[in-house]
Amino acid sequence: MDDAIIDREQGAFDELLNDEVDTTVDEAENNIEDIAVSNNNYQIYSGEALSCEEIYQVAAKESTKMIVFVGPIGSGKTTIETTIYQLFHESPMGELYFAGSKTILGYEQRAFYTRIKSRGGNPVTPRTVVKMDQSFLHLKLWQKDKDLINNFMFADLSGEFFESHIGQVDEVKKKISVYG
């Protein structure tokens, strides 16, 4: 990375940490990945799973694809999502390269017990909590051959959610405001 870019980004972070933040900064000049600017307010993502409102803020600005794995309890939906994330720790996948995530903490919380470092007897993905307020994992990938960046939002929903809503399409649309 160019030293001028690093210095500019460091200066932007220093400015954010300063109590005298100038909120009149032009949004086009703000190149910090995990900060959203809206109505002169900064939103710094915690790294945990995103809410419906937070995914809208990403999808409204950049190309974003929503991926929903549907299945019963224990079928491996979250395991697939965290495995995709972990594959990019090793190397790119074909022409796809890891380009960032607003939910690294969320991924790490879900993936920890699948690793040797957890000192667990068997690799296991923790059960997904049955709640809708923060259920989306974000992965940004760069497609090298086309020089294209895409965001992927994985809906990390529990098997109980799907089982309790079988045949209730209209009710599900109300509960998941992304589709409403």
How wide is the angle at C-alpha 33 spanned by C-alphas 30 and 35, nearest 5°?
70
The domains of the chain are located at 1-44, 46-179
Locate tokens 């939910």: which residue? 103
pLDDT tens-digit series, residues 22-52: 444 444 444 455 555 656 666 677 888 898 8
Taking the C-alpha atoms of residue 107 and residue 101, their distance in angstroms, rounded to an integer, is 9
* CA-wise closest residue to 112 among 96, 101, 126: 126
**81 and 106 Cβ atoms separated by less than 8 Å:** no
pLDDT tens-digit series, residues 46-75: 888 898 888 888 899 899 999 988 888 888
- pTM for the whole thing? 0.63
How does the average pLDDT of the chain come out, rounded? 74
Give the phi and the psi of residue 50 in degrees, each rounded to 5.
-95, 155
